[in-house]
A and B are shown apart, each in its own frame.
Chain A
Amino acid sequence: MGLQAPELIISSGSLAEVEKVLAAGADAVTVGDTRYALRASGHFDLTMIEAAVQLAHPQGKKVYVLVNALLHHEHLNGLEPYLGQLAEIKVDGIVFGDPAVFMTAKRVAPTLGLHWNTETTSTNYRTVQFWAKRGATRALLARELSLTEVLEIKRHSPIPIQVQVHGMTCIFHSKRELVSNYFRFQQREEAREEPLLLKEHVRKEEQYPIFEDQHGTHVMSNEDICMLEHLGPLIENRVDCFYIEGIRKSIDYNTQVVSIYRRAIDALLQDPQDPVNPDLVAELQKIQPANRPLGTGFYFKEQIY
């Protein structure tokens, strides 16, 4: 029986990037309006989102829009028309975490795909079933899961699941302006080139990007996930969607990463047990920024509590 190709998705920060990553082999892009999106790579207003849709659809590709903020009341105004407009311009789906977005979308934009993503808290299959039963069409899993857990969720999930295979992840989100607060405390308010890097006093070799925006402060992982050499089991077990996080990376880097994963996936569809071509791994290592070590996140790591 032939294996289904997983959907290869990458977040994009500009129309130029959308064009390039689609050409490099992405099946879909994720974009967002920073008012409703957490950690979008760049700001896409409605006109830009429509342009992205017009780029993607003729190629049979998709555009998903991040509406994944934790909403406060000021965000609720305008949410309804916004979701209606996204449906009108034929966006393929929205990524949501807050149930307020989910309820509103079901009411005013029932044609939109509803990709449930609560980041750190989508950790088990019963939760996926809960949201699937209420109408979510896809579940994006937390990154703090082992491969075994991911595959178990896949076996029990009535809807497609999406896992991150590459890039940085958010590991902390506060509503507070923690960087600005620190500089105000030090009474120094000079301009700073974001993202800044956070280093623990104990393990100074590890650095975590940190940045502020209208949703607060975000701390990102010190490593980039890279599952390039471990895609086989994900494909074999029919994990549906592979996500590459493109935030804080150049268009060139993201385009090459898409191309590398595209080629790896296409080869593995012939035989998922085959090791990935070492040339692809070498190609990736060559473009990887020196301060962003590659790792496999929690896919093969034990956690205690």
Chain B
Amino acid sequence: MTVKTKIKKPELLAPAGNLEKLKFAVLYGADAVYIGGQKYGLRSKAGNFSYEDMKEGVAFAHKHGAKVFVAANIMAHNEDFEGMAEYFQTLHQIGIDAVIIADPAVVDICREAAPELEIHISTQSSITNWQTVQFWANEGIPRVVLAREVSLDEIRKIKQHTDIEIEAFIHGAMCISYSGRCVLSNHMTSRDANRGGCAQSCRWKYDLFEELDGEENALFEEGDQPFTMSSKDLCMIEHIPELIDAGVDSLKIEGRMKSIHYIATVVNSYRRVIDAYCEDPEGFRFKPEWKEEILKAANRPLTTGFYFHNPTEEDQIFGLPPKMAAYDFAGLVLDYDPETKIALIEQRNHFKVGQEVEFVGPKRDKFIQRIDAIWDEEGNELDAARHPMQKVKIKVDHPVAPYDLMRKEK
């Protein structure tokens, strides 16, 4: 009999832009989700949670053994302090498990107002070495989120020298600057990047010039792609064992603005990889289908960021980004009758009779289904499901369940 190596399973941490996405993230395998409240977060355009939604989200997550963190990672200005103490007290009363904070001012205010509320230091603080991690450990902070500029080797060293929890990004869009150290938006659009107003000016198009004897000399030629500072998206799906072995405690997915389909697909792929590796580290083999799943939801080309080397031009996007996500979220399963094999579907994108769709769920294998007929709720036959949120019925040969997703190739 072989003895299996015991390894500590890391937390899989997923974004949730609203209550519905929170439920999908949890059901598709997140151990914890992070959300934004009405204030102090960096996604002023994300759905964000009211206190009522937070309560419901916490109840749902806790019922499923998952945690809820709230991002409050702005760099505060004086005016932001008003109401901040009450905000953290309320989050604590609601049962939020931790808050993610970047500004030491906000750390202090949170500690005074809600001493029992756990604080994680945000990636916006750009923590790049073990001594800085130790600084926060000395401050009594139980977890830091590392800068995205930290390599896998550096993480190993950080874990050797410190003993608080380390959270690291594994997937999603990235600042191409050191996080927090970019105010392009402030200067180009008067929008405060570090308080949620980021206009993504880095991804705009620019021209480069040099100055020669007071004259401007263009450094581009006819037909060149313009200069830009746009990073490919991080994807570590093929390197989860290395991250786990390095001792990362929480594996974080970016994307509070992303769709339900994206969240469910990405979370579930990482869930499967983590479980497979922790179940049997020696016997672990990476299955190509895990990466294929990721590609069905990806918005941009993918990179491993700083984990293995300093990124090069290969890790950036120049010119028009290629069309990525090959699949549309077509519908959401609301109900299924195993007797009649009829599923009640809520439409999310146009689909029609004759099309092949794919059903995915949190716990079982995906399968392909041809749509032979569509009925509305009154039983009238339709040639297509045209209206968003329209409830229709279709025949599905294998059992499906609420929260299963139906998608179609674009």
Chain A residues at the B interface, C-beta cutoff of 8 Å: 70-73, 75-76, 98-100, 102-104, 118-121, 123-127, 129-131, 142, 144-145, 149, 152-153, 171-179, 181-186, 192-194, 196-204, 207, 210, 216-217, 219, 221-222, 291, 298, 301-305
**20 new A-B contacts at CB < 8 Å, known A171-B186, A196-B219:** A70-B178, A71-B132, A75-B129, A100-B129, A100-B135, A120-B181, A124-B103, A126-B106, A130-B108, A144-B194, A172-B202, A172-B229, A185-B316, A192-B210, A197-B211, A198-B206, A200-B188, A304-B190, A305-B44, A305-B197
Question: In the assembled complex, how far is the CB of residue A36 from the closest CB belonging to chain B, in whole angstroms?
Answer: 13
Chain B residues at the A interface, C-beta cutoff of 8 Å: 44, 75-78, 80-81, 102-109, 124, 126, 128-132, 134-136, 147, 149-150, 154, 157, 176-178, 180-184, 186-188, 190-192, 194-197, 202, 204-212, 216, 219-220, 224-227, 229, 306, 310-313, 315-316, 318
Contact flag A173-B182 (CB < 8 Å), given A186-B224, A200-B206: yes
Assess the B316–A173 pair: CB atoms within 8 A: no
Which residues of chain B are near A121, meaning CB under 8 Å? 75, 102-103, 124, 180-181, 194
Assess the B132–A201 pair: CB atoms within 8 A: no
Give me the 10 closest cross-chain CB pairs, A-B, nearest first.
A305-B197, A126-B105, A100-B131, A99-B135, A181-B313, A130-B104, A185-B313, A127-B105, A305-B195, A305-B192
Which residues of chain A are near B183, meaning CB under 8 Å? 120, 144, 171-172
Interface centre among A171, A172, A184, A199 (most CB of B within 10 A): A172
Which residues of chain A are near B149, meaning CB under 8 Å? 70, 72, 175
Question: In the assembled complex, how far is the CB of residue B58 from the closest CB belonging to chain A, in whole angstroms?
Answer: 27
Which residues of chain B are near A291, meaning CB under 8 Å? 211
Which residues of chain A are near B154, meaning CB under 8 Å? 72-73
Q: Report the separation of the CA atoms of residues A183 and B227 in the bound assembly, to the nearest whole angstrom.
A: 9
Which residues of chain B are near A202, meaning CB under 8 Å? 204
Contact partner of B129 among A72, A184, A198, CB < 8 A? A72
Q: 23 A–B contact pairs at CB < 8 A? A: A70-B128, A72-B129, A98-B132, A100-B135, A120-B194, A124-B76, A142-B75, A171-B187, A172-B202, A173-B177, A174-B177, A174-B178, A175-B178, A177-B312, A178-B229, A181-B313, A197-B209, A199-B206, A199-B207, A200-B206, A207-B209, A221-B187, A301-B190
Assess the B209–A72 pair: CB atoms within 8 A: no
Which residues of chain B are near A217, meaning CB under 8 Å? 229
Which A-chain residue is minimally distant from B212 (CB atoms)?
A: A193
Q: Report the separation of the CA atoms of residues A131 and B186 in the bound assembly, to the nearest whole angstrom.
A: 25
Assess the B177–A76 pair: CB atoms within 8 A: no
Q: Report the separation of the CA atoms of residues A76 and B150 in the bound assembly, to the nearest whole angstrom.
A: 14
Contact partner of A201 among B136, B226, B229, CB < 8 A? B226
Question: In the assembled complex, how far is the CB of residue B281 from the closest CB belonging to chain A, in whole angstroms?
Answer: 27
Question: In the assembled complex, how far is the CB of residue B43 from the closest CB belonging to chain A, in whole angstroms?
Answer: 11
Which residues of chain A are near B188, meaning CB under 8 Å? 200, 203
Contact flag A174-B176 (CB < 8 Å), given A99-B131, A192-B210, A304-B197: yes
Which B-chain residue is minimally distant from A182 (CB atoms)?
A: B227
Question: In the assembled complex, how far is the CB of residue B383 from the closest CB belonging to chain A, in whole angstroms?
Answer: 45
Question: In the assembled complex, how far is the CB of residue B197 from the closest CB belonging to chain A, in whole angstroms?
Answer: 3
Assess the B210–A124 pair: CB atoms within 8 A: no
Which B-chain residue is minimally distant from A133 (CB atoms)?
A: B108
